Chain A
Amino acid sequence: MRYLPGIALTVVVAAGLAWTSALTLPVDPDVATIRLSWRAPVVRVETCRTLSAAEQEEVAAHMRRSEECAGTSLDHEVHWTIDGAETVDTVAPSGARRDRPVYVLRDRSVAPGLRTVRVSFRPVWPDGQIPDSIDVPLVFEDTVRVGPHAIALITLDAARASLIRR
């Protein structure tokens, strides 16, 4: 009996701890997300020149090359428009030397329902000029239905040739 107050207090404190163990995180009921997520190979623009025989002979035999190239890895632009509201993001190649793939990961909160979505993904060419021999940018354009708390993921297809909604 002597310890009854202590036992009761222990149970109360334990119950308090249990309550703090499962606090409800408030969540907006009317929200959904459009998510862009893919990985693209890095695009590198290089200028190469052929080395002369004399230049090659200056270098040790195991290090000789026929060409010398200098260049840069290109940033990419993501233009995405949801119901007319446009956002432009620039994504750089990853890695300290910018030689790793380009990773796109963007989320935007939207109201649930039908959303008109347009996404284009293209490298940023020097001087804004796109060489004719390079493929057109990746584009996704569609009306997307997204339910409450759902995430509509736009990513590359299995062939990594076009953007699809998954």
Chain B
Amino acid sequence: MKGPGAEGLQRLGHAMFERVDVAANRAYTSRYNPLYHSGAIVVLSFVVLVLTGLYLLLFYRIGSPYASVERIVDQPWTGRWIRTLHRYVSDLAVAAALVHAFRMLVQDRAWGPRALAWLSGLVLLGIFLLCGWTGYVMVWDEQGQLLAMEGARLLDVLPLFSEPLVRAFVGEVEMPQAFFFMNLFAHIAIPVGVLLVLWVHVSRLARPTLMPPRKLSWGIVGAFVLLAVVWTAPLGAPADALRIPSDVRLDLWYNGWLPLTRGMPAPWVWAGILMTVSLAVAVPWWTRTRRDAAPPASWVNPRHCTGCEQCYLDCPYEAIRMVTRDDGRAGLVGFVDPLRCVSCGICAGSCAPMVVGPPGRTGRDQLREVRVFIEEEGVGRDDIVLIGCDRTAALSGPAEASTTPAFHGCSVIPVGCAGSLHTSVIEFLVRAGAGGVMVVSCPGRDCWNREGVRWLKARIEDEREAELKARVDRNRIRVVHVAAGETKGLREHIDRFRKDVRALDPASGEEDIDMDAVCDPPSAPFLQIVD
């Protein structure tokens, strides 16, 4: 049970993203869908901003800010489009950050061990907004003047300064040059904070992906460079303390709030800011699943753990570490930190002896469930069995009249994440006589547990532990990656697979498949697999 409205908002978000993802996958393919790389696009934007900002810094003068920006705009081959690129990419950074945040909220990835990422992400967004504020003030056109006055008005409410700051902008006294120096300093110093906070933001992730795929990166940069060349960002009229700004072009992402706050008393604006920040900060608690309903953390059975380190290597959240045994035996044993574990179950898929995983979802538990499935449903030689993660297209769409989930004439065995699937389950189904086994996962970069699809693929194709044994007929196995809304695409995959399976020799099932023979005997002599 979550906070009031949280589930409703997440359902609404799912429904929206289902449609949008399908459309974006059609345009970009799922590998390059920018919505799957929204966080990395923010980092890409930051890199572009730093590079273009360095160029602009060469020509900006705090003694004559507006005139120096005018000179930059007058450089037809460089300055004009570089300044414009700097401005447009700064908008991209905020837009991508908001998409990323909303996506994480909708995908229920903002609470528990991931709360730190959420909160640090809010700080990062705040840094970008502050940096943008100072950037627009630097130009010292009418928009910059409005922003500076509004900022001064808000700060004057706080008991911090001995003299009202807004006096510097009303024409009574000359503009102090120190103001532009401070503003420039802030604009350059604040981004340094981005690096530090970004480090915190990804600190609980193994192998964080900081940049989009190369083609997508160059595509985005190329599109924005082209746009910057053909559509120069306007430069407003110069700031004048004794003129009401009349030609102001607002940037929706950085100061779209100005029309709302200008007529409002400053304490009310502060109240609005505090309320917005409080709501955003409260998201990890608002979306948190109640403790007794939250999925339990994984657990390693120390008695049977061989210390192979595969779960430690595969965990996307660095929640598993290898520690020295305290039972007198030599070697290391896996230990799951419950404060970091999000219960994705990927460790269950990594463990050949099946001794790690969330309670009820270890490899052994999965085998038990599939045995029950076969006993109750049976599998025929023409049957395709789908194994899909909870968010897959195989489990969406209208429910068919059956106690077992089904999709397009195929029974569906749901798993929490495709990466948690133990390959022994696939082997078991094939040996039981299923015509084919299709594993349906989310698109690789949209895996809610980051690396589930990657490890699944490696275990099936590249002999990564716990690998699908060579004795299993690969012709009877398919792995497809479809977004939640791509039901039509999944049906097409199934139809193609059915056709391929019919062309194979009929599958022969085995009776009484021995579970101990499913996986290799353990190497440690004292290890005993207990059913």
Contacts and interface: CB of A to CB of B under 8 A. Distances in A.
Contacts, number: 128
Given A22-B233, A32-B244, A151 B27 contact: no
A14 B244 contact: no
A78 B141 CA distance: 32
A21 B252 contact: yes
Interface in A11-43: 11, 14-15, 17-18, 20-27, 29, 31-33, 35, 37-39
A100 interface: yes
A132 to B, nearest CB: 32
A150 interface: yes
Contact of A17 (B24, B88, B246): B88
A2 interface: yes
B32 interface: yes
A6 B28 contact: yes
B111 to A, nearest CB: 30
Nearest to B258: A25
B248 interface: yes
Contacts of B104: none
A94 B243 CA distance: 28
B26 A166 contact: no
A6 B164 contact: no
A72 to B, nearest CB: 20
A149 interface: yes
A45 interface: no
A10 B63 CA distance: 39
Nearest to B234: A22
Interface residues of A, number: 42
A21 B91 contact: yes
Given A6-B28, A14-B88, A153-B172, A20 B253 contact: yes
A20 to B, nearest CB: 4
Given A11-B227, A23-B250, A37 B27 contact: no
B390 interface: no
A103 interface: yes
Contacts of A10: 34, 219-220, 223
A33 B244 contact: yes
A21 B167 contact: no
Contacts of A35: 170-171
Interface string B66-109: 00000000000000000000011001100100000000000000
Interface of B: 24, 26-29, 32, 34, 87-88, 91-92, 95, 159, 162-164, 166-167, 170-172, 215, 219-220, 223-224, 226-227, 231, 233-234, 241-253, 256, 258-259
30 contacts: A5-B26, A5-B27, A10-B223, A14-B92, A17-B91, A17-B92, A18-B88, A18-B233, A20-B251, A21-B91, A22-B234, A23-B249, A23-B251, A24-B248, A24-B249, A25-B245, A25-B249, A26-B259, A27-B244, A32-B244, A35-B171, A39-B163, A94-B164, A149-B244, A149-B245, A149-B246, A151-B171, A151-B242, A153-B171, A155-B172
